A and B are shown apart, each in its own frame.
Chain A
Amino acid sequence: MAIESVSRRSVLKSITLGAAAGSVLSVIPLQAAEHIHNAIESEKADAPAGVYTPKFFNAHDYKTLQALCETILPADADAGGALEAGAPEFIDLLTSENPDYQSKLGGGIKGLDAECAKRFGKPYLDAAPDQQKQILDLIAYRKNAVADPSLASAVEFFAFLRNLVSDGFFTSKIGIRYLGYKGNTYRLDFPGCPPVPGV
Chain B
Amino acid sequence: MLQINPIRKVYDVCIIGSGAGGGTAAKVLTEGGLNVVMLEAGPRLNPDKDFKEHVWPYQLAHRGAGVAAKGRLEFNNEFLAPNGFWEIEGEPYTTAPGTKFRWFRSRIEGGRTNHYGRISLRFGPADFKARSLDGMGDDWPIAYEELAPYYDKVESFIGVYGTKENFPNAPDGIFQPPPHPRCTETLIKKACDHLNIACIPARMAILTQPLNGRDACHYCAQCGRGCKSASNFSSSQVMIPPATATGRFTMIANAMARELVVDKTGKVESVSYIDKSTGTEQRVYARAFVVAASACESARLLLNSRSSLFPNGLANSSGVVGRYLTDSVGSDLAGYFPQLENFPIHNHDGAGGMHMYMPWWLFGKKNDFLRGYHIEFGGGRNLPSVGQFDGVNAEHEGYGLSLKQQTRTSYGAVIGFSGRGEMIPNDKSFCDLDPTVVDRWGIPVLRFHWQWGENEIKMAQHMRETFRSIIESAGGRVMGGTRRHPLPADAAQSAAASLSEPGAIIHELGTVRMGNNPRTSVLNRNCQAHDVKNLFVADAAPFVTNPDKNPTLTITALAWRTSEYLIDQAKKGEV
Contact = CB atoms under 8 A, between A and B. Distances in A.
B69 A171 contact: no
A173 B399 contact: no
A9 B230 CA distance: 11
B64 A171 contact: yes
Given A43-B60, A73-B404, A163-B393, A141 B398 contact: yes
Contacts of A193: 180-183, 185-186, 346
A182 B347 contact: yes
Number of chain B interface residues as a range: 35 or more
Contact of A189 (B55, B68, B219, B388): B219
A86 interface: yes
Contacts of B412: 179
A76 B387 contact: no
Is the contact region of chain B dominated by helix, strand, or loop, or is it mixed? Answer: loop
Contacts of A192: 179-182, 186
Interface string B375-401: 000000111111111101110011111
Interface residues of A, number: 68
B220 interface: yes
Contacts of B345: 180, 182
A188 B72 CA distance: 32
A191 B350 CA distance: 9
Contact of A94 (B69, B219, B228, B408): B69
A77 B184 CA distance: 30
A139 B305 CA distance: 59
B401 A76 contact: yes
Contacts of B61: 43-44, 47, 89-90, 93
B219 A167 contact: no
Given A28-B54, A47-B61, A190-B350, A8 B411 contact: no
Contact of B393 (A71, A166, A190): A166
A155 B243 CA distance: 58
A87 to B, nearest CB: 10
Given A12-B215, A94-B62, A141 B404 contact: no
8 contacts: A74-B401, A86-B58, A140-B397, A173-B58, A183-B349, A184-B222, A186-B219, A190-B347
Interface of B: 48-49, 52, 54-65, 67-70, 72, 179-183, 185-187, 215, 218-222, 228-229, 231, 339-340, 343-351, 381-390, 392-394, 397-401, 403-404, 407-408, 411-412
Interface of A: 3, 5, 7-9, 11-12, 26, 28, 32, 36, 39-40, 43-44, 47, 71-74, 76, 81, 86, 89-90, 93-94, 97-98, 101, 136, 140-142, 158-159, 162-163, 166-173, 175-176, 178-194, 196, 198-199
